[in-house]
Structures are given as structure tokens and as C-alpha cells.
Amino acid sequence: MAGRTFVIGDLHGDVVPLEVLLARFPALDAQDTLVFLGDYVDRGPDSRRCVEFVRAELPQRTPARIVALAGNHEDAWVRVVDFGWPEFIYPPGNGVFECYRSYVGGPQPQPGETPTAEEQAAIARGGFFPPEHVAWFRALPLWHEDEHAIYVHAGLPQQDGRFPHPSEVNPAVAMLWVREEAFFREYRGKHVVIGHTTTNELPQELSKYTPADPNDLWAGDYVTALDTGCGKGGFLTGFELPGRIVYESR
């Protein structure tokens, strides 16, 4: 008998909603799988704790298999460490200052506060991450598939007039960054579960789940989207398959 899969949306540096959500799941066993859709860091106050929890602590707490996927923010930090990426680290909305402070143990930034020159230099290199965290970012898979669905951070890009299977996407990293409305309107294939784009930005008329509430999980016929704004003023959503049961941290 196939086990259950519990999918968890973008954490964005907010560990408390994750603890709440896990407590609301039923008891898990070794036949079950927890799939995280990526974006563990940035914006919220607990980036370091989120990484440590998913990477090291949770495997000791649950018998379920854990699949932690890469998000575009993990990909971005690897690029920062390797090459530098000013276009990512400077926009305040990306939440890198909050991430930095969580790693060095400083107070979370106040509204309007900007990094000092010393802090900005550290952020620009990504040198505040422990080496084992950067290694974990590099090793995160870009997608996962089981009998229930395909799981990927952002979605499937349209290439050559179709939406290819994740194994055929080139470059594969596009699955972490893509934002194409056509995917939500035109994709016809195996069920895909994603995060990345907050659900209130998606075409609400296509959602079969509480379409009157744009902040809720978004569920079309072929795509389910779980980024309900955790770490940026929203809440965390979990999704159980094959039962299609929704869990929320709020």
C-alpha cells in the first residue's frame, strides 16, 4: 500500500508555523513522506533555525522519509557564495538582511533599518553561512516524484510549446525560478505541487479551493500551489496526498 505524502510550502525563515503545522499532521510512520518545497531562508526571523531543523533535527524526530527540495532562495545564496550577486542581495524585499541577522545572532532588523557597511560586506559574500549549510543548499534536489504527484519549487517552464517532465527541463534550474501564468492555465499532465508564487498572485477564477479567499491554498485541476505567505505576513500550508487534505498553521 502506498504511503501518504505531506507537502509543506515555503518557510522563508519562520520556524514557528512549521512546528504548529507538524503538530496538526496525523501521526506519521515509515511509509509516509514529508516533502518540503524549498525556500527555507530569508524574510522571516529564523532562517538558521529553519535550516537546522529541516536538515538535522526533524530526521531524528519522525520515522517518515524527508525530501527537502531546493528553492530559488537557496539557489540564489549558492550563486552569491560562488560569484556574488548584487541584484539578489540589495532589494530589501528579498529578506537577506533578516537572514544574515538570524545567522550571526543579532536582533532582527527594524522597519527601515539597513545593514552597516560591515554587514553589507558579509552579506555580499554569503560568508556568514556555516559550510555545512552551503553544502546542504548545493545538494538539495530540484524535483521529486511519487505515485501521487510531481513536486517542484516554482513550476514547469513551457519549452518548445509544451511543459516537459522535470527530467527534461533545460536548464533544470528554471524549475526554481519560473513564473508563467500559462502553466496554471494550460498545463495538462500529472498533478504538480509547487510553492514560490504566493497564492494571492494566481488566477483565482481557476482555483477549486476557496476561490473567494485569495490567500488560501490554490488548487486547479492539475496544479496545487502552497505558498501562502509564511515568513512574509501570511501562514504555512501543508497538503496531504492522496487524500488532498489541507493543513494550515493559522
Q: How confident is the model over 18-44, as pLDDT tens digits? A: 999 999 999 999 999 999 999 999 999
Confirm if 42 and 99 have CB atoms less than 8 A apart: yes
Between the two ends of the chain, the Cα-to-Cα distance in Å is: 32
pLDDT category, 2, cuts 50, 70, 90?
confident
Confirm if 71 and 10 have CB atoms less than 8 A apart: yes
Element (H, E) at 131: helix 131-139
| Mean pLDDT (the chain, rounded) | 97
pLDDT at 101 over 80: yes
Number of domains in the chain: 1
Q: Edge to edge, what strands does the sheet with 33-36 contain?
A: 65-68, 33-36, 5-8, 237-241, 245-248
CATH of the domain at 45: 3.60.21.10
pLDDT at 234: 98
pLDDT at 177 over 90: yes
- Give me the torsion for CA of 87, 93, 97, 103, rounded to 10°: -100
Reported as a single tens digit per residue, the pLDDT across 42-78 is 999 999 999 999 999 999 999 999 999 999 999 999 9
pLDDT at 1 over 80: no
Reported as a single tens digit per residue, the pLDDT across 215-232 is 999 999 999 999 999 999
Stretch 144-173: mean pLDDT? 98
Residue 25 belongs to domain spanning: 5-248
pLDDT category, 211, cuts 50, 70, 90?
confident
